[in-house]
């Protein structure tokens, strides 16, 4: 990090975590954050579900929930962005406090509960960005969510895609957040198959068929992962994101370790990478994977790729290392690929999967 970014991080950390999050979005929009522009090379360029990306390092959902800083984030060194989650109607989410830094563990616990401005406001922002003169040159996706009080949560995902789908490059079905009661029940094979069928049916009404991805939880056993892999293969979705946050608290040291919510950051790395490797074994080349969970260095990103991920995503580590982590990881990943003789990212995918099985 530059001295300017170090100072900015110090200022942000003087506020409570949720206030810091909002201030970081405001700083981005005001031009106060480092924006190096696209990070790419012949070795880093890759494709995923028909999308062309300058590098495989993306921003995970949850940071820019309301699509407020797309132009700025697109110039921060990422290869792609995932916004949201968006729900049909705006909702405030769970009571505060609901975001906690676990500094000693380099982790974060959140129980936001899909707080967002709703699909209409978010769709308008996406549309304005897409039709503005400030061209966004990387894929921008949207995480689809369900309202907490919805009578038909499965239908909510299709509603959001139908409303926002013409302004995005991919969509993620998020049935794995632990912060909306019983949402994870939709990961069961019958419920998941029906939900995905509804989303894919909604996609037929778009001007262009966007890739549909599925984001799963890390707290699934081998049998459950096999069932999800079978549904993913049969449904015709375009990819799986492994994984969301965990309910586990194993090995934590921080005082906030007992707070309810989903745990992300460093402690999630091994659990999420093992899930990734299992899915990679189950799906082979049929359905590509995005690895997320605990990535804080180029080696972490490289490990995810060699365990089976075609792309990776960051979020919690930026709380401790700043926004410049994205280009640092992209550049470091290029060096690691070159060192091992890989000409492209895709050549390295899954080459050390067996180490995690």
Active-site annotation, residues: 177
Q: Where are the beta strands (DSSP E) in 175-237?
A: 212-216
State both tokens at 231.
């549904």
Which residues, at least 6 apart from 22, have a Cβ–Cβ distance to it below 8 Å?
Answer: none
Distances (CA, A) of 34 to 9, 72, 275: 12, 9, 33
Distance between CA 57 and CA 327 in Å, rounded?
8
Distance between CA 146 and CA 7 in Å, rounded?
38
CB 304 within 8 A of CB 279: no
Tokens 């942000």 map to which residue? 12
Tokens 């109607």 map to which residue? 89
Nearest to 264 by CA among 63, 67, 85: 63
Neighbours of 281 (CB within 10 A): 17
Which residues, at least 6 apart from 57, have a Cβ–Cβ distance to it below 8 Å?
Answer: 39, 77, 78, 79, 301, 311, 312, 313, 314, 326, 329, 330, 333
């Amino acid at each position: 990090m530059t001295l300017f970014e170090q100072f900015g991080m110090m200022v942000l950390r003087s506020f409570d975590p949720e206030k810091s999050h909002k201030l970081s979005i405001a700083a981005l929009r005001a031009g106060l954050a480092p924006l190096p522009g696209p990070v790419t090379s012949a070795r880093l360029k890759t494709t995923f579900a028909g999308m062309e990306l300058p590098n495989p390092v993306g921003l995970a959902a949850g940071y820019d929930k309301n699509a407020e800083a797309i132009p700025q984030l697109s110039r921060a060194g990422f290869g792609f962005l995932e916004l949201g989650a968006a729900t049909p109607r705006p909702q405030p989410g769970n009571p505060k406090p609901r975001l906690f830094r676990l500094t000693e563990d380099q982790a974060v616990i959140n129980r936001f509960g899909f707080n967002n401005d709703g699909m209409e406001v978010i769709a308008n922002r996406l549309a304005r960005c897409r039709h503005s003169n400030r061209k966004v040159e990387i894929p921008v996706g949207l995480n689809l969510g369900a309202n907490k009080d919805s009578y038909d949560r499965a239908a909510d995902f299709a509603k959001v895609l139908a409303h926002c789908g013409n302004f995005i490059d991919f969509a993620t079905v998020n049935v794995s957040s632990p912060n909306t009661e019983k949402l994870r029940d939709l990961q069961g094979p019958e419920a998941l198959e029906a939900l995905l069928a509804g989303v894919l049916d909604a996609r037929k009404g778009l001007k262009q068929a966007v890739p549909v991805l599925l984001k799963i939880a890390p707290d699934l056993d081998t049998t459950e992962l096999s069932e999800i892999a079978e549904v993913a293969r049969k449904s015709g979705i375009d990819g799986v994101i492994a994984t969301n946050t965990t309910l586990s608290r194993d090995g934590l040291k921080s005082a906030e370790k007992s707070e309810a919510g989903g745990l992300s950051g460093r402690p999630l790395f091994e659990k999420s990478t093992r899930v990734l490797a299992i899915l990679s074994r189950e799906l082979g080349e049929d359905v590509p994977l995005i690895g997320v969970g605990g990535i804080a260095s180029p080696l972490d990103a490289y490990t995810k790729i060699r365990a089976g991920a075609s792309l990776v995503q960051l979020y919690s580590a930026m709380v401790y290392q700043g926004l410049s982590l994205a280009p640092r990881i992209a550049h470091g990943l290029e060096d690691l690929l070159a060192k091992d003789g890989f000409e492209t990212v895709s050549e390295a995918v899954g080459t050390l999967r067996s180490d995690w099985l």
